[in-house]
């Protein structure tokens, strides 16, 4: 690690994290609102009720504001792969580029083409074609998410490829393995369903504000019905896909799984920590270690969640670092050793090939391939530097799960009050719905912290650490662009909030029909 500019690595990570987290403020609302708008427009076309037309136009306006800003941050995010992460871009070859290319050619053009018809087609095209454009925008938006998440899933679990030692690049050999890997499927389904939940919370929360202000009551109730039902169905699937995603992480990224639960020593019949508080307890081997000062557990549940077996063994941080022969776990010490062999063999292979020594090149190539599985570990000497920040991952995971579960319960209560009681009179419930909007965004950000922070230090799991992926540039230039982006994105966010609030207030002043 001494040969790397750690300031460059840290600032490049910070800039990408800044861009990604701001981008993810806008994307979830786009993904879910596109379908909510399509559903509302379908009700208008089916019933001919002008009220549904007005409802559709209002939510479409908020969707459009959010969509425009989300596109701007997304474009910057993709450019950063070339500017800040050129070594990564070279190493992953066409595997990462192919899904992003498909996203740009197919999905983005689909949504960008029909979004113009969606917004400007009122009275200019037939109702059915206008409705078709709404559904195509929704499908296109979610297809964009599919290809981006497939690319991200490959970084978490690299499959369907071989490494070319002559070019030092990974090359795709099975597109379908990349597209349909369990990691990709679960990541896509869990991410979009969580985005739908956020969108539903947004619709329900804004509708609750109308009810609290005693304005546009019928308008708000109809919107709330769509938001709550859409949200409940989405929350059910979100919890199901989240459960499956946890098992995928357990299988492919056991260190991340251990960090999610703050588990240092592996256990059979491992309990699930429901609530816990961690404090630092550094040791000579691991100065970043933290243990629970307080926790509430459910016996056996972690083992069941991980392997559908309450008696299953769940490895902890120490099992992975030190190894566990009983359960066939190769230690990080051994992985580092094999990784260094692979790095040295690759270098020797290139030298032998340049010298025309085919026999030596063949020997080194075989040695390289035999140790490539742990190639990325060779960049480290201390195995504890390959352990993510356990408390941050633990708190982020439990924040995400806790809030996600509470949203599921909130939708049930809201639907009960809509159909069995009077939601208008339940002011306490409307206040909860309103203040759930920022909580939904917190849950989204917590989810991505788990996904990305929890897998550190890997940019490609086991194969490429973050420190070797950065471009060879001056870290001061990265600091400069970080500051520029921070100011720009914050300004855009403030502008979006102001524009949306102005639009909501404007709508509230319209007299009910």
pLDDT of 483 above 50: yes
pLDDT at 99: 81
pLDDT of 193 above 80: yes
pLDDT in tens, 331-346: 999 999 999 999 999 9
pLDDT of 445 above 90: yes
pLDDT at 367: 94
Calculate what percentage of the chain has a pLDDT beyond 70: 98
pLDDT of 2 above 60: no
pTM of the model: 0.93
Collapsed DSSP state (helix, strand, coil) of residue 245: helix
Quote the CA–CA distance of 262 and 247 in Å, as a whole number: 16
Quote the CA–CA distance of 333 and 327 in Å, as a whole number: 16
pLDDT of 513 above 70: no
Rg (CA), the chain: 25
pLDDT in tens, 67-97: 888 777 777 877 787 788 888 888 887 787 7
pLDDT at 364: 93
Position with higher pLDDT, 367 vs 283:
367
Helices 182-212 and 217-252: crossing angle in degrees, nearest 10, is 160
pLDDT of 1 above 50: no
Quote the CA–CA distance of 191 and 446 in Å, as a whole number: 12
Residue 216 Ramachandran class (φ > 0 left, ψ -120 to 50 alpha, else beta): left
Q: What contacts 394, CB < 8 A, 6 or more positions away?
A: 259, 260, 261, 262, 273, 276, 278
| pLDDT band with cut points at 50, 70 and 90 for residue 106 | confident
- Looking up tokens 């991340």 gives 256
Cα→Cα distances 374→121, 291, 325, 364, Å = 55, 29, 18, 16
| Nearest of 133, 141, 139, 145 to residue 56 by alpha carbon | 133
User: Hey, where are the domains in the chain?
Assistant: 15-107+137-258+390-508
Beta strands in 313-372 (DSSP E): 313-314
pLDDT in tens, 412-423: 999 999 988 888
Lookup: tokens for 436: 């759930």
Lookup: tokens for 195: 């985005």
Question: Average of pLDDT values for 96-120?
Answer: 80
Lowest mean pLDDT among 144-153, 254-263, 389-398: 144-153
| pLDDT band with cut points at 50, 70 and 90 for residue 136 | very high
Beta strands in 121-280 (DSSP E): 161-164, 169-172, 267-268, 272-280
Helices 390-420 and 217-252: crossing angle in degrees, nearest 10, is 150
């Amino acid at each position: 690690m001494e040969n790397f500019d750690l300031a460059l690595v840290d600032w490049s990570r910070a800039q990408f994290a800044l861009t990604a987290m701001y981008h993810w403020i806008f994307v979830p609302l786009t993904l879910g609102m596109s379908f909510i708008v399509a559903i509302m427009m379908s009700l208008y076309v089916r019933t001919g009720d002008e009220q549904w037309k007005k409802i559709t136009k209002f939510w479409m306006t908020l969707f459009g504001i959010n969509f425009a800003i989300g596109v701007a941050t997304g474009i910057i995010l993709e450019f950063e792969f070339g500017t800040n992460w050129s070594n990564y871009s070279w190493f992953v070859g066409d595997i990462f580029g192919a899904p992003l290319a498909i996203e740009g050619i197919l999905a983005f053009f689909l949504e960008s083409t029909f979004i113009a018809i969606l917004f400007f087609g009122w009275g200019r095209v037939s109702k059915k074609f206008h409705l078709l454009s709404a559904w195509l925008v929704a499908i296109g938006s979610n297809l964009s998410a599919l290809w981006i998440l497939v690319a991200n899933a490959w970084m978490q679990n690299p499959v369907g490829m071989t490494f070319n030692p002559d070019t030092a690049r990974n090359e795709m050999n099975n597109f379908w393995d990349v597209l349909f890997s369990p990691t990709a499927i679960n990541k896509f389904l869990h991410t979009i369903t969580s985005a739908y939940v956020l969108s539903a919370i947004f619709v329900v929360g804004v509708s609750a504000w109308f009810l609290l202000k005693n304005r546009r009551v019928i308008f708000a109730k109809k919107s709330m019905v769509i938001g709550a039902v859409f949200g409940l169905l989405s929350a059910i699937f979100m919890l199901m896909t989240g459960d499956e995603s946890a098992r995928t992480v357990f299988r492919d990224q056991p260190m991340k799984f251990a960090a999610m639960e703050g588990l240092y020593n592996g256990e059979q019949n491992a309990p699930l920590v429901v609530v816990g508080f961690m404090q630092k307890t550094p040791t000579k081997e691991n100065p970043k270690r933290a243990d629970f000062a307080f926790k509430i557990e459910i016996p056996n549940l972690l083992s069941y969640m991980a392997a559908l077996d309450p008696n299953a063994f769940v490895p902890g941080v120490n099992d992975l670092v030190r190894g566990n022969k009983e359960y066939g776990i190769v230690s990080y010490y051994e992985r580092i050793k094999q990784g260094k062999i692979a790095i040295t063999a690759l270098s020797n292979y290139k030298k032998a090939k340049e010298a025309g020594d085919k026999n030596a090149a063949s020997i080194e190539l075989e040695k390289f391939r035999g140790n490539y599985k742990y190639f990325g570990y060779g960049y480290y000497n201390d195995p504890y530097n390959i352990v993510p920040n356990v408390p941050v991952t633990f708190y982020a995971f439990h924040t995400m799960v806790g809030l996600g579960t509470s949203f599921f319960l909130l939708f049930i209560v809201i639907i009960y009050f809509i159909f069995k009681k009077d939601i208008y009179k339940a002011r306490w419930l409307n206040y909860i719905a309103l203040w759930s909007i920022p909580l939904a965004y917190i849950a989204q950000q917590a989810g991505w912290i788990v996904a990305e922070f929890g897998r550190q230090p890997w940019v490609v799991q086991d194969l490429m650490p973050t420190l070797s992926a950065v471009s060879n540039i001056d870290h001061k230039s990265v600091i400069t662009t970080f500051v520029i982006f921070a100011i720009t994105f914050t300004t855009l966010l403030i502008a979006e909030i102001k524009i949306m609030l102005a639009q909501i207030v404007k709508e509230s002043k319209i007299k009910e029909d």
